[in-house]
Chain A
């Protein structure tokens, strides 16, 4: 064969052994330890982009975009609590700890949420005065670790969120690595400075739904039955978990899909445990409907909510509100390209930085290093978050009006179709242009 006749084969990389997979094998072989990172699932998952809203036409009347009202308010916790939360918008800020985030970032979340008329949430590190002071509505998380837990903060809260799990790691606890344990974080958690602080995966004083019912009763007794009590669950078996949450006496259920972020967990956990939010909402709503509790026990969903379209679609599937975590951090300034030079020094790039546990965040958000944390102005960052929340709300209203809805809560599954068979089956809405909902028994 002459040289002229030789036709080279294009080098072909394996789909199975792609560049990331190869690099991870090499990293594991070199270090002997699994990869830990922050954030939620990064893989391509069925999500709200796989759904479309139908809008009005001959059979539905739309509402005038700049004239007719489309309500956005939501009341959370009216089942048993004397003082339910009445929020202006159905977009809340998810729980993120002081410890994983700087005090400035926590304050900014409180400021932004308050400006928008919504709530923010503490995390696995107790309640800081900055956050309480700047948060009109503050939800106080009750976690297995009970770091910083005390009855005074419990009574200072506007609602209590018992955390059973989170979408990034259903069934998993957590660990705040020693490099982020400053004097203040250590003091709040009653542990020495600089050591890893483990967060247990199970609560220390109750096991199972029957015990939980008694625990909720105790928390209500301590807080004079005033505070709404939320239960946060990672999406895995949403029908049964929701049913048990109702049985346990929750006022509100927070359902977190696998796109929901974490401060730090094993990559293998984030990407391989739990289910996407899209697939979790309808089973949870079904459980509420089967128990006659839909809209009586409110459902907040989270995990990858990015814009007003996601809000509208989540609510059309039956949620009463959504929560955002990762998106809120981005609004504050997380992963901003302005810090690209520093991201490169850390071996990453803006948009991909996820080593939040290391405390080296150039944006000054996931850090306890004073010089880095000082980069975030909590007032300005709070305004950015408020702007973002406003845009999301306007977007959701725009879509709801197009569907002829005078309130975001009037959106319904009938307003939706799916672009893919998978999304149709998960969201239990028809494939676009058909009447086919895969997976339904007739």
Chain B
């Protein structure tokens, strides 16, 4: 049960120790104290360990994470879980903009709100935001799923590819080529599994969500669509 106090230990030492861990490590449960908004806390970890961060973090916490479970007991700055490959990142507070940007796998949970560009360019990650998300979220989202309990800002899913978006509250506006789609049974089942994975199965009704996805009209450049650009 290693405990690393960032008031006494440098970020470099912490990240170097975490990045050295292998798949068979015995040190599977870490606690980080006094993160005090440091950037890149627990970035680049590649081991199935659990890391609890006791307080708010700055930019890019858990960046490019593989396999690790990272819990932030506070809020997270810009780009939390950016390009994460697998594992779980759970922010118990709010997340700033570009949460889960370009993420390729794993699950990002935000208990509070996420700001603008949540899930921008997502490439396979699943994102569950229990509050609301800001404008231009899921911009150019390629793959993966996003679940939002609250509201979505302007231009949701602009230039969306194959990411699937489930939003319970009002959406201020849809971006280019993003449309509302029917919630069929397989989507309700998929949403339920995502809620289960984030510990919220049964706490919210999947029937209250609406599904958004790509109209696929801008997939190949066509001069007739020029007004959309």
Interface string of B79-90 (1 = CB under 8 A from A): 100110100000
Q: Which of A105-161 contact B (CB under 8 A)?
A: 145-146, 149-151, 154
Query: A224: CB under 8 A from chain B?
Result: yes
- B83, A149: Cβ atoms under 8 Å? yes
A272 within 8 A of B: no
Picked from B40, B43, B78, the residue with its CB within 8 Å of the CB of A205 is B78
What are the residues of chain B within 8 A of A222 when measuring CB–CB?
15, 19, 40, 43-44, 63-64
Q: Is the CB of B219 within 8 A of A196?
A: yes
Q: How far is the CB of A151 from chain B (nearest CB, A)?
A: 4
- The stretch from A210-218, A284-292, A421-429 touching chain B is A210-218
Q: Complex: how many Å from CA A331 to CA B87?
A: 45
A contact residues around B63 at 8 Å (CB): 218, 222
* Cβ-based interface call for B46 (8 A): yes
Q: In the docked arrangement, what's the CA distance between A146 and B83, Å?
A: 8
Contact of B140 with A by CB under 8 A:
yes
**A355 CB to closest chain B CB, in angstroms?**
15
| B38-82 interface bits toward A, Cβ cutoff 8 Å, 1 = contact, 0 = none | 011001101000000000001110011010000000000011001
Across the interface, A190 reaches (CB within 8 A) one of B79, B123, B139, namely B123
From DSSP, what is the main secondary structure of chain B's interface residues?
loop
- Chain B residues closer than 8 Å to A224, beta-carbon distance: 16, 19
Does B143 make an interface contact (CB < 8 A)?
Answer: yes
Report if B104 contacts A (CB, 8 A). Answer: yes
The answer on a CB contact under 8 Å between A150 and B102 is no
Contact B79 A205 (CB under 8 A): yes
Give the residue of B60, B66, B142, B219 whose beta carbon is less than 8 angstroms from that of A214. B60
Q: Which of A206-260 contact B (CB under 8 A)?
A: 206, 211, 214-215, 217-218, 221-225
For residue A192, CB closer than 8 A to chain B, the reply is yes
A200 at interface, CB cutoff 8 A: yes
In the complex, A352 has a CB within 8 A of chain B: no
Chain A nearest CB from B57 CB (Å) reads 12
Report whether B104 and A150 are in contact in the complex, using a CB–CB cutoff of 8 Å: yes
**Known interface pairs A196-B220, A206-B78; A214-B159 also in contact (CB < 8 Å):** no
Query: Is the beta-carbon distance between A218 and B78 smaller than 8 angstroms?
Result: no
With A151-B64, A151-B85, A217-B40 already in contact, the answer to whether A206 and B140 are too (CB < 8 A) is: no
Looking at the assembled complex, report how far the CB atom of B58 sits from the nearest CB atom of chain A, in whole angstroms.
7
* Min CB gap A206→B, angstroms: 7
Which of B1-55 touch A at CB < 8 Å?
A: 11-12, 15-16, 19, 39-40, 43-44, 46
Q: Does B121 contact A (CB under 8 A)?
A: yes
B43:A206 contact, CB within 8 angstroms: no
A218:B101 contact, CB within 8 angstroms: no
CA distance A303 to B142 in the complex (A): 32
Contacts of B101 in A (CB 8 A): 204-205
Looking across the interface, which residue of chain A has its beta carbon closest to that of B123? A190
CB distance from A199 to the nearest CB of B (A): 10
Q: Considering only CB atoms and an 8 Å cut-off, how many residues of chain A contact the other chain?
A: 34
A33 to B220, CA, bound (A): 14
* Interface 0/1 of B90-112, CB less than 8 Å to A: 00000000100110100000000
A221-B120 in contact (CB<8A): no
Chain B positions 156 through 187: 1 when the CB is less than 8 Å from some CB of chain A, otherwise 0: 00010110000000000000000000000000
The CA-CA distance from A150 to B223 in the complex, in Å, is 35
Q: Confirm or deny: A191 has a beta carbon within 8 angstroms of a beta carbon on chain B.
A: yes
**Which of A191, A195, A215 touches B60 (beta carbons < 8 Å)?**
A215
B211 at the interface (CB under 8 A from A): no
Contact of A200 among B39, B59, B121, B123 (CB under 8 A): B121
Considering only CB atoms, which chain B residue lies closest to A144 in the complex?
B121
CB neighbours (8 Å) of A177 from chain B are 220-221
Identify the interface centre among B60, B82, B159: most chain A CB within 10 Å of its CB.
B60
Contact A205 B11 (CB under 8 A): no
Cβ-closest chain B residue relative to A149:
B83
Q: Which 5 A-B pairs have the closest CB atoms?
A: A222-B44, A205-B79, A205-B98, A195-B219, A218-B40
Interface residues of B (CB under 8 A from A): 11-12, 15-16, 19, 39-40, 43-44, 46, 58-60, 63-64, 66, 78-79, 82-83, 85, 98, 101-102, 104, 117, 120-121, 123-124, 139-140, 142-143, 159, 161-162, 219-221, 223
Chain A residues within CB distance 8 Å of chain B: 31-33, 145-146, 149-151, 154, 175, 177-178, 189-192, 194-196, 198, 200, 204-206, 211, 214-215, 217-218, 221-225
Given contact pairs A192-B161, A198-B140, A205-B78, enumerate 5 new A-B contacts (beta carbons under 8 Å). Answer: A149-B83, A191-B162, A205-B102, A214-B40, A221-B15
